[in-house]
Amino acid sequence: MIGAIAANTFRETVRDRVLYAILIFAALATLAGVVFGSLSADQDVRVLEDLGLFTITTFGGVIAIFLGTNLVFKEIDRRTIFLIVTKPINRWEFVTGKFFGLALCVFVTNFAMGLFFQLVIWFQTGNFNSALPMLGSLSLIYLELLLVIAIATFFSTFATPLMSMIFTCGLWLVGHLSFSFELLAALARKNDSIATEKLALFLQYVMPDLAKLTTVRGDMMDARYPSADLLGYVIAYILAYLVILLSLSTIIAERREFN
Amino acid sequence: MTEAVIEVQGLVKDHFSNFLRKRFRALDGLNLKVEKGESFGLLGPNGAGKTTTQKLLLGMLKPTEGSIRVLGKSPGDKEALAKIGFLPENPYFYAYLSASEFLDFFAQLFDMNKNDRKARTKELLELVSLSEAGNRPIRKFSKGMMQRLGIAQALINDPELVFLDEPNSGLDPIGRRDIRNIMLMLKEQGKTIFFNSHMLPDVRDICDQVGVLHRGKMVGQGRVEDICRSGTYKELEDYFMDLINSSEEKYRQSGNATPYHIEREGAQQK
Ligand SMILES: Nc1ncnc2c1ncn2[C@@H]1O[C@H](COP(=O)(O)OP(=O)(O)OP(=O)(O)O)[C@@H](O)[C@H]1O
Ligand SMILES: [Mg+2]
Write down the pLDDT at residue B2. Answer: 58
Find the mean pLDDT for residues B105-125.
Answer: 95
Query: Could you tell me if residue B23 is inside a domain?
Result: yes
pTM of this structure: 0.89
The reply to whether B268 falls in a domain is no
Query: Tell me: the pLDDT tens digits for A6-55?
Result: 999 999 999 999 999 999 999 999 898 888 777 765 667 778 888 889 99
- pLDDT tens for each residue of A86-127: 999 999 999 999 999 999 999 999 999 999 999 988 887 788
Within a domain: B233:
no
Whether chain A has a CB inside 8 Å of the CB on B97: the answer is yes
| Helix H or strand E encompassing B230 | none
Quote the pLDDT of residue B265: 41
- Which residues fall within 8 angstroms of residue A117, CB to CB, at 6 or more apart? A30, A52, A53, A55, A56, A134
Question: Is B232 part of any domain?
Answer: no
Q: What is the dihedral angle through the alpha carbons of B170, B175, B176, B179, rounded to the nearest 10 degrees? A: -110
Residue B120 is predicted with a pLDDT of 96
**CB-CB contact of B110 with B121 (8 Å):** no
Pairwise CA distance, residues A25 & A37, whole Å: 18
Amino acid of residue A79? R
**Ligand 1: which of B18, B50, B215 to mutate, judged by most atoms within 8 Å of the beta carbon?**
B50
Nearest-angstrom CA–CA distance, A147 and A210: 10
What is the band of B261 on the pLDDT scale with cuts at 50, 70, 90? very low
Own/partner contacts of A223-232, CB < 8 Å, gap of 24 or more, are: A223/A133, A225/A136
- Give the Cα separation of A72 and B201 in Å (integer): 39
Average pLDDT of A63-88? Answer: 93
CB A56 within 8 A of CB A116: no
Q: Is residue B230 situated within a structural domain?
A: no
Q: Does the C-beta of B23 come closer than 6 Å to ligand 1?
A: no
A157-215 pLDDT, tens digit each: 999 999 999 999 999 999 998 888 888 888 888 888 888 888 888 888 888 888 888 88
ipTM higher than threshold 0.95: no
Helices A228-255 and A131-156: crossing angle in degrees, nearest 10, is 20
- Other C-beta atoms closer than 10 Å to the C-beta of B96 total 17
For residue range B51-70, list pLDDT tens digits in order. Answer: 999 999 999 999 999 999 99
- Predicted confidence (pLDDT) at residue A132 exceeds the cutoff of 90: no
pLDDT tens-digit series, residues A214-254: 888 888 888 788 888 999 999 999 999 999 999 999 999 99
Residue of B nearest to A88 (CA): B78
So what's the pLDDT on residue A130? 81
pLDDT at A189: 84
- Total domain count, chain B: 1
Alpha-carbon distance of B83 to B85, in angstroms, equals 7
B231 within domain boundaries: no
Cα B100 to ligand 2 centroid, rounded to whole Å: 27
For residue B44, give Cα distances in angstroms to A55, A251, B31. Answer: 58, 35, 15
Predicted local distance difference test score (pLDDT) of residue B255:
65
CATH number at residue B127: 3.40.50.300
DSSP string, B93-146: --TTSBHHHHHHHHHHHTT--HHHHHHHHHHHHHHTT-GGGTTSBGGG--HHHH
pLDDT digits (tens, 9 = 90+) for B69-88: 999 999 999 999 999 999 99
Segments forming the whole domain that contains residue B17: 4-224+238-263
* Predicted pLDDT of residue B148: 92
Measure Cα distances from B45 to A23, B34, B229, B243 in Å.
Answer: 50, 21, 24, 11
Residues of chain A found within 8 Å of residue B82, distances taken between Cβ atoms = 88
Please name the residue of chain A whose CA is at the shortest distance from the CA of residue B87.
A83
Let me know the angle formed at the C-alpha of A129 by A128 and A133, rounded to the nearest 5 degrees: 105
Nearest CA in chain B to A255: B62
Per-residue confidence band for B32, with pLDDT thresholds at 50, 70 and 90: very high
B229 occurs within a structural domain: no
In which band, very low, low, confident or very high, does the pLDDT at B260 lie, cut at 50, 70 and 90?
very low
The verdict on a CB contact (< 8 Å) between B91 and A79 is: yes
- Which tens digits make up the pLDDT trace of B201-231? 889 899 999 999 998 999 888 888 888 777 6
CA distances from A55 to A15, A58, A106, A184 (A): 23, 5, 14, 30
pLDDT at B137 over 80: yes
How far does the centroid of ligand 2 lie from the alpha carbon of residue B32, in Å? 18
